[in-house]
Amino acid sequence: MSHSVFREPLLHFALIGALLFAVSAFFSSDDPRQDEIVVTQSRIDHLAAVFERRWQRPPTEQELNRLVDNFVREEVLYREALKLGLDRDDTVIRRRLRMKMEFLAKDLIDAIEPEDRVLRDYFAVNAERYLEPAQLTIQQIYFNRDTHKNLDATIETARALLWEGAPENELGDSSLLQRRYEAESSDRLDRLFGEGFAEQLQRLPQGEWSGPVESAYGLHLVLLESVKTQRTAQFDDVRAAVLRDWQTDEQKKILEAQYDTYRNAYELRVEGKLKQTSEEMALQ
């Protein structure tokens, strides 16, 4: 089978089904009888591989023996817990088993590397996800409302000094805000200065000191240096994000398809009412 076969999205469901079957066989092959525990070579290899991924080295013989002993202990207690019915009606266990099933599908789809054309098609269909937000570069001079008796006059004086060439870093009040922000998105500027700040900047002329502009902290004279308008990102710049999103969407498809397959093997019977009538609610 050629490597490219694994990249074809139409084969994913068949591939995932086969892999799930193989994994199921792997995990069920160690206990042919309920009163017998067989530690197969594949199980030993798996324990060693997990150890090596964690510690970046293979286990020693002694460590491997301890891993097998621990597996046997876990298996014995697990089977005894099942005999006692400790797995039944346990919400935590049910959720963990569901998560393990979902993680299994995730790990399998993560191993599939789609062809570039598949990702480019996905990118084209979902281009709105990869919009680069507008970016603004500004300088600002901050004025604290509580510091000045006549704030309007203070701001007008500062504006006049700017026109005369006064250094902007000598004007205004000190704060933790930066004097200059380069290529910041509207969302980030709103997080820094308060909601609505960026919208006010969009109405300012470029290349000159304007304002005052109101923020959550006070008032600001602002020099809008440049505005980079919103645009769709280039595929090569966001390929990693596209791959992650494609994998996430494929995982959802796989999980739904796998669930439908499992669900069709069961007969569902809902006994009892799902909703009370208005008369029944009135009697409570």
Query: From CA 217, how far away is CA 175, in angstroms rounded?
Result: 9
Q: Are residues 16 and 106 in the same domain?
A: yes
pLDDT cut 70: percent of the chain above it: 82
What's the domain range around 202?
134-229
The count of structural domains within the chain is 2
Q: Are residues 139 and 171 in the same domain?
A: yes
Query: From CA 79, how far away is CA 73, in angstroms rounded?
Result: 10
Which pTM does this prediction carry?
0.49
Kindly report, residue by residue over 202-232, the tens digit of the pLDDT: 889 999 999 899 999 999 999 999 988 878 8
SS3 of the chain: CCHHHHHCHHHHHHHHHHHHHHHHHHHHCCCCCCCCCCCCHHHHHHHHHHHHHHHCCCCCHHHHHHHHHHHHHHHHHHHHHHHCCCCCCCHHHHHHHHHHHHHHHHHHHHCCCCCHHHHHHHHHHCHHHHEECCEEEEEEEEECCCCCCCHHHHHHHHHHHHHCCCCHHHCCCCCCCCCEEEEEEHHHHHHHHCCCHHHHHHCCCCCCEEEEEECCCCEEEEEEEEEECCEECCHHHCHHHHHHHHHHHHHHHHHHHHHHHHHCCCCCCCCCCCCCCHHHHHHC
Q: Are residues 39 and 114 in the same domain?
A: yes
- Residue 51, domain member (yes or no): yes
Q: Are residues 11 and 116 in the same domain?
A: yes
What CATH number does the domain containing 160 carry? 3.10.50.40
Kindly report, residue by residue over 35-90, the tens digit of the pLDDT: 788 899 988 999 999 999 899 999 999 999 999 999 999 888 888 888 888 777 78
- Residue 129, domain member (yes or no): no
Q: Are residues 116 and 138 in the same domain?
A: no
- Residue 46, domain member (yes or no): yes
